[in-house]
Amino acid sequence: MAANADTVLDSVKIADSPKPVGSEGIADLARRAADLNKTIRDLATHPDHRKTLRKFLGSEVANLLDLKVDTLYRRLARQPELPQGETPNPRRREFSLVEIDQLRRAFKLSAIRAPGQPGIIVSICNFKGGVAKTTTAAHLAQYLVMHGYRVLLVDLDAQASLTQLFGILPHTEVGDEETVRTFLEGPNFRGTPNPNWTGDLRSVVQRTHWHNLDLIPSNLGVYGSEFAIAARLRDEEGFAFHRPLSEGLAPLRQDYDVIVLDTAPSLSFVNSNAMFAADGLLITLPPAMIDLQSSSLFFDLVAELMEAFNRTEATPKTYDFASVLLTRVRPNDGTHAQITKWIRQFFPQETCAHAMVQSSSLEKVGPELLTLYEVAEYDGDRRTLERAIDAMNNVNGEIELLIRHALASRSKTRSPHAEAALAEEASA
């Protein structure tokens, strides 16, 4: 064994002697890492340095519109004014996501929510890292958009992985004033007027390469929001530390059917804001012992947070749903199977029926930073990708049902004006 180790060491180039590393050295590493990320991003998004979305096959479109392929094509033949897609060859027809949305409107498919009804906010949460929060948030948002929802993603993690997944370099292409930070600092920060204050978060919303899917990006500066909220708690009489994000997102509820919050792996002021703003919680939990053990602490902390909210709120905080989503599950792993069984036994009502499987397709995220729904050409057995997409669709379809039930429950309290508007829309 020692001889083998020596052989390996002999093949590795080792510096003559380690040198002390100060702040300038670490800063240099940061610059080189940023340059590397930019190089990779630019290669993947050449020539305009922005991601583009693939086209969707006719069979995919028919499935999204809940039609048979023949029925879809017959309708298109009868209505040539509708988007007809592109035909790169006689046996293949492709549609953009914009065209799919136009077809959905033309076919008068059912509305997501009643006129005037606010959208719902879902927080993807767990105070532990490595539990697939960002993967869940991105795929859920894209799934919902493909099924006719208008969606806003909010990146609340200073590491900004979600922002990077949409082809945006957070630390060179996103200013602090383009994140949630300015709004969380408040209109008068540290005794002086905040020059970037706009009154809500609409000003920091960016479009993405997905039609009807917008993003509030993040960068390292979002971490400074923690100090800003702490300062406001100290300096502003009656300041409710948990309210700013909810207040900033309130106007956007009319713009979007669903707002998805991707949170940081920590207990923080920003995450407390996300927990208060949310109408529903989706707790991502891998079936591993260390994650299972930390979940107890997570639930304790959430309960304590809710008690803190309720001490200053007129109405006790409740969630439309608080569901556990098993993530990174390896179906053939005995330990995963056992822990999954325990979780379902102790949280029978809260645990989603479907789990996010740890597929090799998810692990093959290369320089292109593609989600499963963005892959056009797959380097491997296409059936592996299709199985992964089917599993992801099952997960997201179940979450969509939770969202629909929450929206339906809220719509029961619609005003007579909203009822009349909905009836008029239905008759049209």
- pLDDT, tens only, 271-281: 999 999 999 99
Of 122 and 28, which is predicted with more confidence?
122
- Determine what percent of the chain is predicted with pLDDT higher than 70: 87
Mean predicted confidence (pLDDT) in 211-238: 95
Give the span between the Cα atoms of 216 and 205, in whole angstroms. Answer: 5
- Determine what percent of the chain is predicted with pLDDT higher than 90: 67
CA neighbor of 282 nearest in space, from 342, 324, 327, 246: 324
Give the span between the Cα atoms of 207 and 189, in whole angstroms. Answer: 28
Mean predicted confidence (pLDDT) in 362-388: 78
Do the bridges between strand 188-189 and strand 321-326 make them parallel or antiparallel, or are there none, so unpaired? Answer: unpaired
The reported pLDDT for the residue numbered 47 is 61
Q: Are 206 and 144 in contact (CB under 8 A)?
A: no
Give the span between the Cα atoms of 401 and 394, in whole angstroms. Answer: 11
Q: Is the pLDDT score of 25 beyond 80?
A: no
The reported pLDDT for the residue numbered 24 is 76
First to last CA, the chain: 78
Mean predicted confidence (pLDDT) in 186-200: 87
Of 177 and 378, which is predicted with more confidence?
177
CA neighbor of 105 nearest in space, from 204, 247, 211: 211
Mean predicted confidence (pLDDT) in 246-250: 96
Q: Is the pLDDT score of 294 beyond 80?
A: yes
Average pLDDT, the chain: 87
Q: Is the pLDDT score of 21 beyond 90?
A: no
Domains and CATH numbers, the chain: 56-95 (no CATH), 120-415+421-425 (3.40.50.300)
Q: Are 184 and 244 in contact (CB under 8 A)?
A: yes
The reported pLDDT for the residue numbered 427 is 45
Q: Are 171 and 33 in contact (CB under 8 A)?
A: no
Give the span between the Cα atoms of 365 and 369, in whole angstroms. Answer: 5
Burial 338-354 (b: 16+ CB within 10 A, else e): ebbeebbeebeeebbeb
Of 89 and 16, which is predicted with more confidence?
89
Sign of torsion, CA 9 13 18 21? negative
Q: Is 360 helix (H, G, I), strand (E, B) or coil?
A: helix
Give the span between the Cα atoms of 355 and 325, in whole angstroms. Answer: 6
Q: CB under 8 Å to 232, separation ≥6 — which residues?
A: 185, 186, 189, 239, 241
Decide: pTM greater than 0.85. yes
The C-alpha angle with vertex 169 and arms to 376 and 280, in degrees rounded to 5, equals 75
CA neighbor of 326 nearest in space, from 378, 357, 270, 285: 285
Alpha-carbon 369 to chain mean position: 14
Give the span between the Cα atoms of 11 and 87, in whole angstroms. Answer: 53
The reported pLDDT for the residue numbered 416 is 42
- Kind and range of the H or E element at 335? helix 334-346
Give the span between the Cα atoms of 162 and 156, in whole angstroms. Answer: 9
Q: 33 pLDDT band (50/70/90 cuts)?
A: confident
Where residue 368 falls (left for φ over 0; alpha for ψ -120 to 50; beta otherwise) is alpha
Q: Is the pLDDT score of 2 beyond 60?
A: no
Strand order in the sheet with 321-326: 206-207, 213-216, 151-155, 258-262, 120-125, 280-285, 321-326
